[in-house]
Amino acid sequence: MNIVELLIPELILLAGSVACAIVGVSTRRSMRDALPAVAIAALGAAIAWTLCCGDTLAEAAPMPALSKWVTVVGCGLGMLLVLLNAGTADRDYEAAVAAGRTKFDPLRTTRGEFYVFMLLSIGGLLLAAKARDLIWLFLALELTSLPTYVMVAMSRREQRAQEASMKYFFLGAMSAAMFLYGFALLYGATGTVELAAMHEVFTAQQGDVGMIALVGMLLAILGIAFKLAAVPMHLYAADVYEGAASSVTAFLGFVPKAAGAIAVMGLLWTMGMHADGWLLPPMVEVMLWVMAVLTMTLGNVAALLQSSAKRMLGWSSVAHSGYILIGVIAGPDHGGWAAVLVYLLGYGLSNTGAFAALAALRRGGNEVESLEDLSGLAERHRGAAWTLAISSGSLLGFPPLLGFWGKLLLFIAGVSSGHIVLVVIAGLNSAISAAYYLKLVALPLMGASTARSREVEPLSVQWPRIAGLIAAAAVILLPIGLPAIAACAAAVLVN
């Protein structure tokens, strides 16, 4: 298959981002208001093309069908995230223009760029799933991350957003250098940058892959752990998630994390897939194991201590990376990677819903952040309160919500691949996480209103609320189709 045809979904997103950049500087307000529609149309077109004509996408990639799944899920969730971010950038400026207080100046607006960055970052996620060599993987991961650094900085006018962007960017650049050095060592050990050829070399070595390749793999995983927000590269997570606008935080919680998980799976495939089944080199497995345990424990314990709902959700997203790593360790044989894909879908929807509830509310012109602001929310803002409650329930893994099924699949995969201790630790962690997630369920629905929560007002823009409701509805309704979803995810991994 020719390479241009392979890249049509990404090219559609690229065309969409160019269109957004042009529409964003239009002097007509109705045109600028159509920006989210343009971005969503591009994402929809990418999905439609993949479903209709994308049958044999990326046949040379390690997992040929993976890119179809990632395109549909990534662009689908991307539509929600675009909807959630509609009206984030330049909200005050657009309001001033609408009220006639100032004239529109194409040089001052950054609204179009904001959608461009979202589409490009999602494009990076799609490319990561198609990666067939290390160069491709490196470029895809960078394409996913570089736009998000800018999105964080421009999402709010406050200094906190810029501080968050600084921390995110510098740690991001450092981690990129780290996985790049890992790639260099992997290349040195195998003499090829192509994943399939690397796989052949490692298979021929029959488990004894050599020191250079091992160190390279460890460095690569450590660097990519930044995208996952996994220990030890998690340090930025709480600060960045707090500093960015809630709608952007939802984006950061899904797109880079999904790209990171997929990249780690693609790399591990080269080393762990053998003719007689899935077996990682012991050193790599031990490191992933320790990372998983530390990530979920640290994430959950730190989340428990927070008084800000945003920081709490930030730390909880660190914990979720730990759960994802269980599936990664379990490998493709025991349904581990299929579980990761289902889990990413459930986590992405729930995370988007939770942050959408926060993004849909305002208190005195600022974001709603502390738990106190959320107490007794249901009395005045029923939609946001229920969205938050349902999403938090799903993040906790409360049956029958989607998050529960994702977690169940992960735990089953963990047990059947023999990592019982790991699953027990994850179970204990889920119990810890109940303590703070139930706060997010109970406070809005049953808490008493406080002086702070009475000042909470809905955002003037409707879209975040609608995005939250869609996410919450999906979290409730998708488990009906769960067998089909799980079957699709499992089929993705059959070579």
Residue ranges that bind another protein, judged by CB under 8 A? 133-135, 138-139, 142, 146, 149-150, 153, 159-160, 162-167, 169-170, 173-174, 176-178, 180-181, 183-185, 187-188, 191-193, 238-240, 242-243, 302, 305
Are 16 and 79 a contacting pair, CB within 8 Å?
Answer: no
Q: Are strands 366-367 and 456-458 parallel, antiparallel or unpaired?
A: unpaired
Q: Which is nearer to another protein, 149 or 278 (CB)?
A: 149
Q: Which is nearer to another protein, 15 or 180 (CB)?
A: 180
Shortest distance (Å) from residue 369 CB to another protein? 12
Are 228 and 321 a contacting pair, CB within 8 Å?
Answer: yes
Quick one: which H or E segment has residue 456?
Answer: strand 456-458
Q: Which is nearer to another protein, 25 or 184 (CB)?
A: 184
Q: Are strands 366-367 and 361-363 parallel, antiparallel or unpaired?
A: antiparallel
Angle at 330 between CA 494 and CA 140, to 5 degrees: 65
Q: Residue 387: which residues within 8 A CB-CB, separation 6 or more?
A: 353, 354, 356, 357, 360, 465, 468, 469, 471, 472
Q: Which is nearer to another protein, 160 or 362 (CB)?
A: 160
Q: Which is nearer to another protein, 105 or 158 (CB)?
A: 158
233 DSSP assignment: S
Shortest distance (Å) from residue 169 CB to another protein? 6
In angstroms, the CA 340 to CA 410 distance is 7
Shortest distance (Å) from residue 270 CB to another protein? 15
Shortest distance (Å) from residue 406 CB to another protein? 29
Shortest distance (Å) from residue 71 CB to another protein? 23
Q: Which is nearer to another protein, 182 or 479 (CB)?
A: 182
Q: Which is nearer to another protein, 148 or 453 (CB)?
A: 148
Q: Which is nearer to another protein, 115 or 183 (CB)?
A: 183
Q: Which is nearer to another protein, 25 or 235 (CB)?
A: 235
Which letter, b or e, does each residue of 424-450 get, where b requires 16 or more Cβ atoms within 10 Å of its Cβ? ebbeebbebbeebbebbbebbbebeeb
Shortest distance (Å) from residue 138 CB to another protein? 7
Are 429 and 300 a contacting pair, CB within 8 Å?
Answer: yes
Q: Which is nearer to another protein, 174 or 420 (CB)?
A: 174
Shortest distance (Å) from residue 72 CB to another protein? 28
Shortest distance (Å) from residue 131 CB to another protein? 13
Shortest distance (Å) from residue 243 CB to another protein? 5
Which letter, b or e, does each residue of 268-278 get, where b requires 16 or more Cβ atoms within 10 Å of its Cβ? bbbbbbeeeeb
Which letter, b or e, does each residue of 49-69 get, where b requires 16 or more Cβ atoms within 10 Å of its Cβ? ebeeebeebbeebbbbbbbbb
Quickly tell me which residue has 């879908």 as its tokens: 345
Q: Are strands 361-363 and 277-278 parallel, antiparallel or unpaired?
A: unpaired
Shortest distance (Å) from residue 410 CB to another protein? 29
Token digits of residue 264: 């780690």
In angstroms, the CA 330 to CA 288 distance is 11
Cis-peptide, bond into residue 332, ω within 30° of zero = no
For CA atoms 39, 40, 41, 47, the dihedral sign is positive
- Return the number of other C-beta atoms located less than 10 Å from residue 1's C-beta: 11
458: exposed, middle or buried (C-beta count within 10 Å: 0-12, 13-18, 19+)?
A: middle
Q: Which is nearer to another protein, 28 or 108 (CB)?
A: 108
Q: Residue 135: which residues within 8 A CB-CB, separation 6 or more?
A: 193
Shortest distance (Å) from residue 319 CB to another protein? 16
For CA atoms 373, 378, 383, 388, the dihedral sign is positive
Q: Which is nearer to another protein, 141 or 377 (CB)?
A: 141
Shortest distance (Å) from residue 237 CB to another protein? 11
- Return the number of other C-beta atoms located less than 10 Å from residue 387's C-beta: 30
